[in-house]
Every structure is written in structure tokens, then in C-alpha cells.
Chain A
Amino acid sequence: MTSKLAADKVSAWYGTKKAIEDISIEFEEHSTSAIIGPSGCGKSTLIRCLNRLHETVPKARVEGHVLLDGKDVYEDDPVAVRRRVGMVFQKANPFPTMSVYDNVAAALRLNGVRDRKALDGVVKRSLEKAALWDEVKDSLGKPGVSLSGGQQQRLCIARALAPEPEVLLMDEPCSALDPIATAKIEDLIFDLKKDYTVVIVTHNMQQAARVAETTAFMYLGHLIEVGATRELFERPKETLTESYITGRFG
């Protein structure tokens, strides 16, 4: 088993409040892993520790190790880490003052890419990967925020894919979308694992079942169970997991 990304005894705090405790989990290369659990269980906090975003919140703190290709990201430069580990957020957050094109090109421009041809190529490729190209190819100059909600979220996915990250973290990417837009994004996630290691946080168990090979269940800041998605839903080992997936709480 080749694990692309792994958390090793990770704990995280907001001030004095401990959000997650002692979590160890591995994510395989070119696979999709889902993290499920009730609201407030710490699933978002966990993936925000993976790209070192958690520590940017005032008074937030992390302990433990996160290994990307076996190297601890907490001993690396956070900016370099985030260029290899992209992220898509719960609420679509395109830059409102930028066009569709400029949103997708943002990360490359940060890296100093100025060549228009190179940018054109990356913008097209990223929008294609995000299954948005056909819908926006004639309106690349329009503001990113003029798109519909589902399109904006796919724009954010294209923006995250543009710098060619190795890992893509998705924090409840469909929670603000209607069923049709959700279906589009789920199809997309299914395709993305060919090239990327995808970790998706969701409170929607059906979604986890549809897109992920591996699923982890978290509860009250603890990792309760990890397993092959089918296995976890059909024969959970822990009673807590079973209670959750059968809808007895959460």
C-alpha cells in the first residue's frame, strides 16, 4: 500500500478547545477517501491540518505529524505545502474582482507565470478537468461571481487544479448546491482520482458511498473507524459507526 498522505497522531485546538485528538489515518495515492461524521466532529479541522490551513486561524494550534510522500509537512514551508495540496471549500469562494480566466490563473500568476500562451493552456485544461470549459469558454472574461452556484464551485475546483497539486482536499464541496450541481461535482470527483489523491469531507453518507473507495467515520474529535467504503457501510465494526449510518444519531 502506497500512502500519499498520512496524519500521524494529529491533535488540533482552537484556543483551549480541543477539536480533534490523536488522529492517525492514511490516504492512498490516486484514490478518493471520504471523511464522514456529524457536525462538529472535527472532520473539517482534520483536513485543514493536512494543508496547514488550521494554524492560520488566530489562537489555533496543531500537534503531531502530517506526512506527504513520507516527509513531515510541518517541517516544510507552509506555502510550498499548500502548492502541492489544493483545497476546495464548503462555500464557493471565487475572487469576486477577477474574471473566470483570472480566477483559474491566480495560482500560476502567484508563481510568477506571465506567459499568456502557457496561462491559456492551463486555464483551458483546468476548466476541462472541472467539467466547466464548455459552459464558460465564451465568457472567460466575465466576473467569476456571475456564474451560478454550481458553476462557481466547479470554478473553484478548476482554480485549485490549475497549479497541478498532488492532493485535493474538499471540505463539504456540495453542501450549498442543488441536486443537479451536486451530481455534476460527484461525477467530477470520481474522475479526478485518476490524477489526484482526493480527500473529501461530507456529512452526506450517500455521497461518500458514491465517490469514495475508503471512508473514515469521526465522532467528537476522534477517529472511530476507517475502512473500505462498502465494508464500512455494510458491516461496520464499531457500534458508534453503526448507530450513525443507520441514522440513530447525528
Chain B
Amino acid sequence: MAFPFRRGARRARLHPTGSSWGDTLFRAGSGAAGVAVLALLGLIAIVLTVNAAPSLRTFGLGFLVSGEWNPVTNQFGALPFIYGTLLTSALALLLGVPVSLGIAIFVSELAPPSIRIPLTYVVELLAAVPSVVYGLWGIYVLVPLLAGYVAPALQGSLGFLPVFQGTIYGTNLFTAGVILAIMIIPTVSAVTRDALTAVPQNQREAALSLGATRWESIRIGVLSYARSGIFGAVMLGLGRAFGETMAVTMVIGNRNAISVSWFAPAQTLSSLIANNIREALGTDLYLGAVVELGLVLMLVALLINVFARLMVWRFLGTTEGLE
């Protein structure tokens, strides 16, 4: 078959100079954007380290294990806030993830379309509510509800556990965990739903054809297929719980000490920074300690991420969904 172009003309059409320029530009542009992310992370770490230097020099590693936070005597330690951040985030996952999974399974596998679409919108709308609004709602609705009914009930039934003993304060660690749980639900359920709807239909049918019931087919055909996606959703939720500041500050009670009881006021890394930064400005050591908390927050988040990824490799033997 005769080709209607001359040889030279054909080459010119396949590699026109203009598009080659475009290629170079595009590669340089997207490369720069990629490098910028790393540079930004590095710059944040540098600025935090420089500003935290007085505290880093004075307290060294002891900062991480000291429980004392006293601006008057210039004694600073991060332990109560690391404890508060880890525990409230853990509570948030414990309470929020099952509900999120339930929502995602219902939306992607069980709900008829007439319910599925409005429900999807409502759940995503929740993600758009500003956290200060969650905080206000927490103060006016959640605090009285939890302190008035839920906490006494827990104390009555599970009171033998030290964490449920002691005086019930209105604003406390448990309330912060609950509000974080509510706040991560939209993210975790939306990302989980995406992971579930991406499961090929033939997986569900494989399970059904073996005589699986509806639930069994969701379990072996859908949830196990999507598990790395679900894991990613949980990690996103954890990230949000770690960093959430406003709503937590409004309901946690802001006490700079570790209490065994979950019904006692506490403090997280981010809520302490928000509460103290203004006061700390002007005092080098105080400011350094507050900034160092930011560094610790970054580090803890990084460590948890690395640890979680290692767990996935170890137990699931897969790297899929983690790239």
C-alpha cells in the first residue's frame, strides 16, 4: 500500500520541534514540582530545628521523656503531649474506623442507588465542615452528652478499668477521641468506598459462585481484595487525627499532665502549640520548646507511617497500593 507522505514529511509529523519543546518544558515543570515537595519538607524541618535550637540544646533527648511543662521554672518536657496525641488518635481510629467501614460497605455493596447517591454526598459534606464548627458542636452537644450519660455508664459497667475511674470532667481526653473519631469518618469512609468500588465485579462473582452468602462474598471477595486501599484510608484518617488542632483544643481540657483516667483533661502536641505559641513569643527557651513540639509531631507522624508500612509488608506480603 502506497503511503501518501514522503519519508521526510512523515518523520517531521511524528516529531515536530514544537512538541519536543513542550516535552522538555513539561518534564522540567513536573520535575520541579516534585523536587519542590521535598524541598518544602526539608525547609520546614530546618526552620523548626533552628527555632527549636535553645530547647534542643538545653534538654536534649530528655525533652521526649520528661513530664514536666512549667514556663515559670523553665522546665519543658513533651511526654504528656505525645501521650495525649497518640491516645486520642488511637481512640479516634478505634471508634471511627469500624463506623467508616460500615458506611463504605453499605454505600458500595448494599445500598440501592436511590440511597447511595445522597448518602455519598452527605458523608463528603461532613468532610467540608470546618473543624472549629466541630469544636463548637463538641462543646455544646458532645461534652454534656458524654459527661452526663456516656461516661457514667462506662464507669458503671467497665469501672474496674483504671482508665474509666476517677472524676468525670466535662472536657477530657475521651471527648477529644470521640470528636476526632467523628472527624475522620468522612475521609476514611470516602477513601474506603473508592477502594471497594474499584474491586472488579468478577471477584464478587467468584465468591458468590462458590456458595458464599452476601456477607461472605463481601469479606473474601471485596474486603480482602481492597485491603491495601482500606489501609491507606485508615492512614489518611490517622494523619488527620494527629494534626487536628482546633476542635481538640476546644474539648480536651488543656491540662499539661498525664492522667490515667480518660475522663480527665489532657493535652495534645498540636493543642499545646495552639494554646501556648502567643505566650511563648519573646522567650527563647519557651518558644524553642513549643517549636520543638512541632518537630516531635512531625517525627511521630513519620515514625507511625513507616511502622505501618513495615507492618503491611510484613503481614500482607504486598506493596500494592502503597506507592
The residue of chain A having its C-beta at the shortest distance from the C-beta of B318 within the complex is A97
**Smallest beta-carbon distance B227→chain A, Å:** 7
A98 to B316, CA, bound (A): 10
Judged by a CB distance under 8 angstroms, whether B30 is at the interface is no
Q: Which chain B residues in 52-88 approach chain A with CB under 8 Å?
A: none
**Smallest beta-carbon distance B70→chain A, Å:** 52
B209–A86 CB distance below 8 A: yes
Judged by a CB distance under 8 angstroms, whether A205 is at the interface is no
Kindly identify which residue among B206, B227, B316 contacts A89, using a CB–CB cutoff of 8 Å.
B206
**Smallest beta-carbon distance A155→chain B, Å:** 11
B 224-241 binary contact with A (CB < 8 Å = 1; else 0): 110100000000000000
Judged by a CB distance under 8 angstroms, whether A96 is at the interface is yes
Kindly identify which residue among B204, B210, B221 contacts A159, using a CB–CB cutoff of 8 Å.
B210
B220–A160 CB distance below 8 A: no
The residue of chain B having its C-beta at the shortest distance from the C-beta of A84 within the complex is B211
Kindly identify which residue among A56, A58, A143, A160 contacts B210, using a CB–CB cutoff of 8 Å.
A160
A163 to B224, CA, bound (A): 21
The residue of chain B having its C-beta at the shortest distance from the C-beta of A81 within the complex is B211
B211–A110 CB distance below 8 A: yes
Judged by a CB distance under 8 angstroms, whether B157 is at the interface is no
**Smallest beta-carbon distance B265→chain A, Å:** 43
B206–A95 CB distance below 8 A: yes
A194 to B209, CA, bound (A): 22
B208–A82 CB distance below 8 A: yes
CB-CB under 8 A for A107 and B200, given A53-B205, A93-B206, A156-B206: no
Instruction: Tell me which residues across on chain A come within 8 A of B212, comparing CB atoms.
Output: 79, 110
The residue of chain B having its C-beta at the shortest distance from the C-beta of A99 within the complex is B317
Kindly identify which residue among B113, B200, B205, B227 contacts A97, using a CB–CB cutoff of 8 Å.
B227
The listed residue with most B CB atoms (<10 A of its CB), out of A91, A96, A111, A160, is A96
B225–A96 CB distance below 8 A: yes
The listed residue with most B CB atoms (<10 A of its CB), out of A51, A106, A143, is A106
The residue of chain B having its C-beta at the shortest distance from the C-beta of A78 within the complex is B208
Q: Which chain A residues in 141-170 approach chain B with CB under 8 Å?
A: 143, 156, 159-160, 163
Judged by a CB distance under 8 angstroms, whether B120 is at the interface is no
> How extensive is the interface on chain A, given as a class?
20 to 34
Judged by a CB distance under 8 angstroms, whether B216 is at the interface is yes
A82–B210 CB distance below 8 A: yes
CB-CB under 8 A for A56 and B225, given A79-B211, A79-B213, A83-B211: no
CB-CB under 8 A for A53 and B208, given A96-B225, A98-B224: yes
Judged by a CB distance under 8 angstroms, whether B20 is at the interface is no
B203–A160 CB distance below 8 A: no
Judged by a CB distance under 8 angstroms, whether B202 is at the interface is yes
Instruction: Tell me which residues across on chain A come within 8 A of B207, comparing CB atoms.
Output: 95, 106
**Smallest beta-carbon distance B316→chain A, Å:** 7
A147 to B203, CA, bound (A): 17
A51–B316 CB distance below 8 A: no
A106 to B316, CA, bound (A): 18
Instruction: Tell me which residues across on chain A come within 8 A of B210, comparing CB atoms.
Output: 82-83, 86, 106-107, 110, 159-160, 163
B 182-225 binary contact with A (CB < 8 Å = 1; else 0): 00000000000000000010111111111111001000110011
B 145-182 binary contact with A (CB < 8 Å = 1; else 0): 00000000000000000000000000000000000000
The listed residue with most A CB atoms (<10 A of its CB), out of B206, B212, B221, is B206
Instruction: Tell me which residues across on chain A come within 8 A of B204, comparing CB atoms.
Output: 56
Instruction: Tell me which residues across on chain A come within 8 A of B213, comparing CB atoms.
Output: 79
The residue of chain B having its C-beta at the shortest distance from the C-beta of A56 within the complex is B208
* 9 closest cross-chain pairs (CB), A and B: A83-B211, A87-B209, A107-B210, A93-B202, A97-B224, A82-B211, A93-B206, A79-B211, A79-B213
What are some 25 contacts across the A-B interface (CB < 8 A)?
A51-B209, A53-B205, A56-B204, A58-B113, A83-B210, A83-B211, A86-B209, A86-B210, A89-B209, A93-B200, A93-B202, A95-B207, A97-B224, A97-B227, A106-B207, A106-B210, A107-B211, A110-B212, A110-B220, A111-B211, A156-B206, A159-B206, A160-B209, A160-B210, A163-B210
**12 extra interface residue pairs, beta carbon distance < 8 Å, beyond A56-B205, A82-B208, A82-B209:** A79-B211, A83-B210, A89-B202, A89-B205, A89-B206, A89-B209, A93-B202, A94-B206, A98-B220, A110-B211, A110-B216, A143-B317
